[in-house]
Each structure stands twice: as structure tokens, then as C-alpha cells.
Structure 1
Amino acid sequence: MNSKYDIIIIGGGAAGFFTAINIVEKNVNLKVAILERGKNVLEKVRISGGGRCNVTHACFVPNDLVKFYPRGERELKGPFHQFCSGDTIEWFEKHDVALKIEEDGRMFPVSNSSETIIDCFLETTKKLKIDILTNHSVQELYQAETHWKVTTVQEVFTCHKIVMASGSNPKMWEMLQNLGHTIVAPVPSLFTFNIKDPRIKDLMGLSAFATVKVKKSKLQASGPLLITHWGVSGPGILRLSAWGARELAEKKYQFAIQVNWLNETTFEEAMDLLKEIKEQNTKKLIAKYAHFELPKRLWENLVKAAGIEEETKWADVSKKQLHAFVEQLTNAEFQVNGKSTFKEEFVTAGGIDLKEVNFKTMESKILPNVYFAGEILNIDAITGGFNFQNAWTGGFIVANSITN
């Protein structure tokens, strides 16, 4: 069986659906199909943001927005000037989905449910007569003189143009590599650090705003640090893992971090502050009252790690102990031994080499009439709606290029 389409989109995720809808909205005469290897579409949308779908981020200036992308910062400047987060909000509003901004800038549907986004996409594709073909795992891509041939387990398709929106699917990368593309080897991004250390043992769920540096590296990030069952997580750690994705992979996830629990307070500043606290609280027990807004149990553990007994009063603390305590507060060293994936929102650094893509059109420079959208490219971002924004922007540009 041979099915003919104008455009075939490989991948039934966020980028695939957004591209398909925008293509047909611009030209209703085009026959478009989405091929999805799994039995369900939009699975990542469903679980994103804890089932609420973090659609985008309230950062509306392209030159600021690109700074959230460890890979793709330079390349996305032009595309974001064409379609940015403000355009995303407007697009969803036109499709009857209202978005809201949360305190940290993340944007979600007002309904607080990813099903709202999924319903919007499914209803719109149905209305526009876009074919959604699940269980269609692509086996082969073949370039003929006037068209492309796409073979799946079920059937053979011919089309004029292909949009690759298959995310970080190694099989599709390999197929494109065989057709001449360069693939930047994938490594995990957005992961948490595995640490076994008495200072954070049994403190699951506690968090503090901290600055974290990777020892013997230029990598550093600030933000809420969350103590977990297996080590540390939170926005600061995830940011560090995104920017250090390649470097930390090379270290095989064995490295030391230095944590400043007082964020940007220096050793000297912390020492002065502790001396003041000491003068004002001579008769009080050091371990009993936490300062600097640190969680009490974390404070107690750091006091202990500095060699200060539980019953020690501020008046009795030695110079050496105070020095050790300031070191624990501003430069606590932890050994990282492996990583854990952050929830189901697994993001990969790697994919199609960005030098081989025309970012004005998102067309391949190697394969004519092949376009890219979403995570198949070597573009990734920190959490906060940025990876979806890359999918929407890419999809919009592909649709524009194909229909113009």
C-alpha cells in the first residue's frame, strides 16, 4: 500500500503537532500526516510540569530568552525574533487555551491540566483533517528524484517534504546520519546529583538558596537546592547539570561540588556575621538556633560537621571551630557519585549538528525538503517551559517556510 501526502511529519509530540497545525492553518489544501511510532501521541506533553504542562516561560525578549539554552543560544536568536513566548501565548489564546504566569515565570494552562493542551491539539488536527497514524515506526527514508519515500512497519508513504520532529530518538538520528547528517552524540541533561553524606542524611525535602560550584571547573550555578533521598536536586542543580552536560559526562559523573549555603556571602563576610552572632548570643547553644534562614536540621548537621559539640555555647566556641563552621557554611565540599534522571522530563543534549540547519527556514542544508523541529536538534534548555518554546518556535518557522 502506498499513501501519498504533501508533507509527512515524523513524531507525534509537541513539535510535530504544532508544525502540522500551523502548516494546514496556513494552507488548507496541503495533505499532511503525523507518523508516531508509539500507540499514543503527545506523551511528553501529558507528563510535563507534573501533569500541568509547562507551556512556555514569561521571558518576552528574544536576546534574554536565548540565555536559558546551554545548546542553541546563538542559533535561536533569529528564530525567537520570528516567534517568541508572547506569540505562543497569543497562539494558544486564539485556540481557546488561556495561559497563566506563575511566580517563577513558568506558564501553564489556566486549567492546570496538560489535557487542555492535548485536547486543543487533537481537536484542531481533526478539524483540519490532519491524519494521525500511531504504531507507525519509521524503518527507512529514501530520497527519490521528485519526492521522499517513508517506509513504516505498516506501509510505504510518498511525500514532497518531511518534517523530522522525532525528539531524541537514536534510531531516527542513525537514519539521518546514514543520509549524510552529523549527529552530536547524546548525553543526559537535567539530572540530579547522587551524594551520600552524613551532613544531608535524613534531610529529604529541605531546601536552601545556595551557590554550587563544580570543583576544578568553571561550572557554577545559584538557585534553590533541594535535598533528596539520593542527594541533591532543585533548580540550581538542574541548571548546573544542563550547562555541564558534556563536561560531567566526560567525568563519568564522579566529581566534587562546593556548596555555599549562604549563596553569595563570602567566607570573610560570613566570619564577620558569625562573630556578631557570637557577641549577641553568648549564652545560647550554637546548634539550637539556626541563622541565615537555613533549615534548622541542616544548621545542626553543619555545626556537627565543624566539630562543634551539641552543648557548646557561642561564648565557648574556639577560633578553630568557628573557622571550620564558616567553611561548612560557605564552602562545603561534597563528593558526587553518579546521577539520577529528573522526573520523567528527561532531556538530552545532542542531536543534529546545528551547523547543518538553516535557522531562517529550519530546513536541512544536507537534505533538500527535510525540516527539523524540537529536540531532534542539538538544542536543549533548563526547566521552566523553554524546551517547549523551542518546539513551538521551530514548528512555526517550518510551517512558514513550507507554505510560503
Structure 2
Amino acid sequence: SFSFCLRNSKGSGHSLSCLVPGRKKKKAIMREGPLLITHHGLSGPAALRLSAFAAREFHDAEYKCTVTVHWAPDFGSVDEIDKTLTTVKGLSPKRMVSSACPLLCEGGSSAIPRRLWSALVIRSGFDPDTIWCEAPKKKIRKLAAIVGEFNVDVTGKGVFKEEFVTAGGISLKDIAMKNMESKKCPDLFFCGEVIDVDGVTGGFNFMNCWSTGFVAGNGAATCVHNKVLDAKPSATS
């Protein structure tokens, strides 16, 4: 898993769901969770999970693709967000559109932080001082689309190439799991990131390396021990 490098990124600490095109047409891979917007791109749990489950797709695309972000997934589709914002226009006509996100979570907190909301409003074509009663329907619709389907161009992996674990490797089908020996090449043992195992959490990946390393080490030692015994001349009576 890895973070995404973008053409431009500002802000930090937002919750959203991410979408990336899959190998098949009209198929997408989606992961939801907290997202961190850094100086270089996207990171945080949502980005790392997405990169883990779509590692091969990203590799095939040379880490250049479009990721679609939903800034407020709990509020449904673009149409549903459009209806909610249109309702706000009638309930708070004198309130500035850019002042605060009217999409409220349980407890009354805004679903989108103020700085991000203000940036999305301006990106939708609103002037910073526009009030809701003056908001055109087309711009409200555009704002709803930006909240629910915000496309960002991924230009590569994180600038520090900080993968936590890599996908790919020797297929588990070609390994005898009892001692991690190759089924195709006897006396060859595999462990850790050499094998095709990668998990979302660091703990899983560490345990995979430790466990397979232990089993492979014992397997290799047993193999050498048996070969030494076989090489010794048999005792004569």
C-alpha cells in the first residue's frame, strides 16, 4: 500500500470514500475511511486501503489514473446532495454559501471541514460572499457534483516511495506451506515479501514475515541436516 501523488493538493484530515477505475469497464474499486490531504497528495487509511486492494490495477496504469472522491458519503448520491442543498437554500436564505457546510452529521457537526467546504464552493463558481437565496440552481447542482464526485488526477506514488508492503511475488500455490519449500524447485525456500501475500495492516504483514521466515528457516535447516546425514557413509559392523 502507498499514498498517491497529485498535481495539486491542499488541506488535511478529511473523511471520504475513494473510487478508482478497475480493469474491466464500468467496474470500480472503492474504499471508504479517513483521508489525509498532504502537500504532495492523498494519504491516510482510505488511500492506503485503496492502493492495497487495487495495487495491480495501479501498477498496470503506471500509477497514472483518476480517483473519484466523495467528500460526504453518508449523504448519498449527487442527486440526494443536490436536494439537501436546495432545501438549505429555503431554510437559510441569508446565510453565505461558503460560511460552513450545511451537511450535518449526528451531533450537529459539519460533514466537511470549513476550509475544504469553502474551497469546494469557490471551485463550483460561487463568489465567496454569495448567500443561499442568490445561489443559482446550476451552481448548486455543480457544488453537489463536486461534493459527491470530485475527480483528482493521480500522477504517481508518494514522493518518498513509502510503500508499507508490496503486492506480487511467488504464488502460494507453488509453495508447500508446511516448510515454505518450492514445489517446482526442491531445496528452495521462500518467506516474507518474496511470496504473494500483502495485507492492509502493518501488523499482518509483520506477522507474515516473521511466521513464514520461521517456517522457511526450519525447513531449510531440516533440508540441510537430512542431506548431511545422507552424505555420511553408513557404519560397518
TM-score bin (small chain) = 0.7 to 0.9
Task: State the shift of 1:317 in Å.
Answer: 0.8
2:177 pairs with one of 359, 368, 375: 359
Please list, as runs of the form range in 1=range in 2, the aligned pairs for 1:290-301 lying within 5 A after superposition. Answer: 290-291=101-102, 292-301=110-119
Match of 1:285 in 2: 96
Matches within 5 A, 1:218-233: 218-233=28-43
In structure 2, the CA distance between the partners of 1:223 and 1:298, relative to structure 1 (3 Å rule), is same
2: CA distance, partners of 1:341 / 1:369: 39
Distance 1:312 1:343 in 2: 42
| 1:252 maps to which of 40, 54, 62 | 62
* Partner SS state of residue 236, structure 1: helix
The 2-side partners of 1:211 and 1:226 are apart by 12
Aligned residue number for residue 208 of structure 1: 14
Tell me whether 1:241 sits opposite 2:51 in the alignment: yes
Gaps of 5+ in 2: 103-109, 223-237
Q: For the residues of structure 1 that align with 2:38 and 2:114, how far apart are their CA atoms?
A: 16
* Contact 2:5 2:157 (C-alpha < 8 Å) held by counterparts: yes
Counterpart of 2:15, as a letter, is: F
Instruction: Give the CA deviation at 1:397.
Output: 4.2
Which residue number in structure 2 is paired with residue 195 of structure 1? Answer: 6
Q: For the Cα contact (< 8 Å) 2:41–2:158, is it kept in 1?
A: no
Matches of 1:299 and 1:243 in 2, distance apart?
Answer: 29
Task: Give the aligned residue type for 1:212.
Answer: C
Unaligned runs of 5+ in 1: 1-189
| 1:325-344 equivalence runs, <5 A | 325-340=143-158, 344=162
Matches of 2:4 and 2:63, distance apart in 1: 8
Answer whether contact 1:349 1:378 (CA < 8 A) is retained: yes
Q: Percent identity?
A: 38
Task: Provide the residue aligned with 2:230 in structure 1.
Answer: none
1:247 to partner: Cα distance: 1.4
CA distance in 2 between partners of 1:223 and 1:331 (Å): 16
Alignment of 1:24-173 (within 5 A): none
Q: Distance in 1 between matches of 2:87 and 2:53?
A: 38
Greater relative contact order (Cα < 8 A, sep 6+): 1
CA contact (8 A) 2:3 2:48 kept: yes
Q: Which has the higher strand share?
A: 1
TM-score by length of 1: 0.48
- RMSD, aligned α-carbons: 2.3
In structure 2, give the amino acid aligned to 1:286.
Answer: V
Counterpart contact for 1:258–1:331, Cα < 8 Å? yes
Are residue 320 (structure 1) and residue 131 (structure 2) matched?
no
Helix, strand or coil at the partner of 2:179: coil
**Residues 191, 342 of structure 1: 8 Å contact kept:** no
Give the number of aligned pairs: 209
Matches within 5 A, 1:173-184: none
Take 1:266 and 1:367, find their aligned partners in 2: how far apart are those partners?
53
Shift of 1:240: 1.2
Aligned counterpart, 1:375: 193
8 Å contact from structure 1 (residues 283, 314) kept in 2: yes
Task: String of CA shifts for 1:208-257, please: whole Å, max 9, x gaps.
Answer: 21111114652221111110111111111111111222211221122111
Is the 2:5–2:159 contact (alpha carbons within 8 Å) kept by the matching residues of 1?
no
Distance 1:210 1:267, change over 3 A: same
- Aligned equivalent of 2:86, options 261, 265, 275: 275
Quick one: distance in 2 between partners of 1:273 and 1:393?
52
The aligned residue for residue 120 of structure 2 is 302
Name the CA shift for 1:394/1:270 in 2 (closer, same or farther; >3 Å): same
How much has 1:351 moved relative to structure 2?
A: 2.0
Alpha-carbon distance in structure 1 between the residues aligned to 2:211 and 2:90:
58
